[in-house]
A and B are shown apart, each in its own frame.
Chain A
Amino acid sequence: MTALSYNSLHHSSPQAADQIFVIVQHWIVGHAPVGLQPLLAILLSVVAIVGGFGLLFAITTILERKGLGRIQNRYGPNRVGFFGSLQPIADAIKSLTKEDIVPQTADKLVHLLAPILLVLAAFSVYAVLPVGRNMVLVNLDAGVLFFFAIGSVTEVAVFMAGWSSRNKYSLLGAMRAIAQMISYEVPLILSSLTVIMATGSLSTVSIVEKQAGYTGILPHWFIFTPWGFAGFVLFMIAATAESNRSPFDLPEGESEIIAGYYIEYSGFKFALFFLGEYLGMFAISGLAITLFLGGWNAPLPFLTWVPSYLWFFAKLLTLIVAFIWVRGTLPRLRMDQLMNFAWKFMLPMALLNLITAAVWHFMPAGPVRWLVSIVLVVVPYTVLGRNQMHKGHLEKRVYRFAE
């Protein structure tokens, strides 16, 4: 039996709506021969993940295009379906029917494998994401570790794409992508390490369970601690860089290297890259929710009757909207600035945040603990931030005028 059905047997929930998917899965699996039951259970979960997040991908593309359109003082897609709501379907048909062009000098096998590997890796990490109560494919003891290990395969896929295309722009994009992703993986993992320290577990399910409960109306999410807040911000910045989103979209660098590593991809392979990027963004946002935002827990104690998976997806959509908003606002960083930021700001902050988390853990609860932790977060932030700004003498300038 899979971990999923195992869990659900031991935590039977009184609410049918909350467990509807688990109950349906059990009902279907119960009709199969006993030997096939574990396989069928896994298969059903995989179908649910691929279908559910595939649908979310479609929703996000239209949300992003409409949202960016509104930010940019234009309409966005509004021709296909009601207010352009069927645009993703049109896009899917278009990318499926377009010619698949492979450059003559490309390494054809690697060129083909790269998008497939990217999507496979992007989907694999969902295995350990708890999207609702008892709704996780496998409750691995080292779930977070699994997530990062599989997540880093995307870098290989990106480099494969850039290298096999035999295009100078794509090579530049691939080099940028590798440098960026490896640099930002360090603060990403270090900032999530605080949560692992606090919970003493690498299992995503038990991390979410540790964040259950409320003090007054304030949930016990890790974001509501000084180290958790700093960790969340660091994690989200690194996640933006990991998923190649603006302002860290250098590997694509549309205005510089045109489309970076996937410049030579067309048709459905291009769509796969698109899908892979978005899935990566959802997955890493999902991990941020799991680690810092209480996973599928309700934000307020009197809202616990709402099914848990709805909370997870509500939080996920909130983070996606934040990603879109940032994309519509900020200019892009330069490669050296990106690296400086990763190694000279993010890394020290993440390391200091580990100390803050340790101080928080060992000090007795009370206002003194809050004060010490806040000082430990704010002082290094101010010092490092000022240091970054003053090194380049960055400031608004005053101009003189000639008559």
Chain B
Amino acid sequence: MSTSMEATTPAAHHGFADATMIDHESELLQISLGPHHPSTHGVFRMDVVLDGERVVKLKPVFGYLHRNHEKIAESTTYLASIPYTDRLDYMCSLSNNWAYAMSVEKLAGLQVPERAEYIRVIAAELTRLQNHASTIGFLMQEMGASGTPLMYAFREREKILDLFEALTGSRMMCNYMRFGGCRVDLPAGWLDQARKTVAEYPRFLDEFESLLASNEILLARTQGVGVLPPKLAIQGGVTGPILRASGVNYDIRKVDRYGIYERFDFKVPLGEHGDVYDRYMIRMLEMRESLKILDQALQQIAPGPIMDPKAKIRGFRPKAGEAYGRIESPKGELGFYLISDGTPNPYRYRVRPPSLINLTVLEDMCLGSSLADTVVIFGTIDIVLGEVDR
């Protein structure tokens, strides 16, 4: 973040940047939420300074899961990095595969066959469904709903993970997409199973909404809480459902029209208030839009090749140059920036992780709210530490 940017955030205006202030104010309580805490989605820490239960300072601390992902990718071949991308946002390995494969395809000038594009869209939208479902489930868990919504969400997620397992052999670490296509074709009967899962999914959404969407406690806990103004969201580089909940119409599926997304009829739900309730509802509505895309894709998919014949698995050396491929991952803009010097390994490999960049506005959203709200606001950002720390 640049200096001018910092000056415009509410956090900077509060003037709690000086850590020594804590010593003078004996009434303030500094606690460390995490890295071992039930609601930090992994090994994440928030250094919180509390006045009573009101947050006056919040410092996100991460890096506990740093695995040197980018450097490892630079010292190995392009192909060998695909399993590593699974482990970035381990909830959405197929989206990660796609973003990486897309940037390599740009670098090497490969053309993806139509069937493979359809499979990618289906895989990515199924990923979005299960990611949003579990995000909302965890959010409710953090609000104290004692596991019920979470288990309902996980029941649906299981069905989608079953599809992934049938398709890729793995439930979470899919390692499925390749440069120029996909690793294997759809197994027999997979499309019918997928259609069945997609057809059953709205029932879960209806059930979930009737359970919670008009619950007074939920409304009171979420409306007007953790407001992210659109201006700050844009300045902070926030993307994904959080940005759209703040009312900014920015969906890379619509902006870039990458893959074959221009063939599908779907809309982008937009929030107005940018609070926790909007971020929750936008995810619910996005799931319904994803179902529309899936319906169309599962109808339209036709037989055909799944790999670009020009794509080479062994001895893959893209010509020198650079490329940036980005997709709308469930969490926001996921991009891979690659520089090739003509060798089998990328010269530079850089990930633009939505989880990390969305996290930068955490303090601004949390200041002035209570400790209980902090946990909920943090839950709506929807981070995965594998992607934050890399």
Contacts and interface: CB of A to CB of B under 8 A. Distances in A.
B372 A399 contact: no
Interface stretch (A1-9, A101-109, A193-201, A387-395): A387-395
A73 B145 contact: no
Contact of A253 (B31, B144, B216, B217): B144
B143 interface: yes
B219 A402 contact: no
Nearest to A385: B216
A333 B217 contact: yes
B278 A255 contact: no
Interface string A70-97: 0111100000000000000000000000
A258 B31 CA distance: 13
A334 B269 contact: no
A400 B155 CA distance: 29
A141 interface: no
Contacts of B212: 331
A11 interface: no
Contact of A258 (B37, B221, B272): B37
B371 interface: yes
Given A256-B39, A333-B217, A394-B220, A247 B278 contact: no
B144 A401 contact: no
Given A257-B371, A335-B372, A399 B269 contact: yes
B224 interface: yes
Interface string B271-285: 111000110011001
Contacts of B152: 72-73
A399 B241 CA distance: 13
A172 B270 contact: no
A99 interface: no
Nearest to A246: B146
A331 B268 contact: no
A401 B270 CA distance: 6
Interface in B141-194: 141-148, 150-152, 155
Interface residues of A, number: 43
A332 interface: yes
Contacts of A394: 216, 219-220, 223
B152 to A, nearest CB: 6
B123 interface: no
A100 interface: no
A254 B370 contact: no
A168 interface: yes
Interface string A244-271: 0011011001111110000000000000
A330 interface: yes
A327 B221 contact: no
Given A335-B53, A399-B285, A168 B31 contact: yes
Contacts of B146: 68, 72, 246, 327-328, 330
A399 B282 contact: yes
Contacts of A247: 144, 217
12 contacts: A247-B144, A250-B372, A255-B144, A329-B145, A330-B215, A332-B143, A334-B220, A392-B220, A392-B224, A394-B216, A399-B269, A403-B268
Interface of A: 68, 71-74, 168-169, 171-172, 176, 246-247, 249-250, 253-258, 327-337, 389, 392-397, 399-403
Given A397-B277, A401-B270, 19 more contacts: A68-B146, A68-B147, A253-B144, A255-B143, A258-B38, A329-B211, A330-B146, A331-B144, A331-B217, A335-B372, A392-B224, A394-B219, A394-B220, A396-B214, A397-B273, A397-B281, A399-B269, A399-B282, A401-B269
Which 3 pairs, one residue from A and one from B, show the smallest C-beta to C-beta distance?
A332-B144, A401-B267, A331-B143
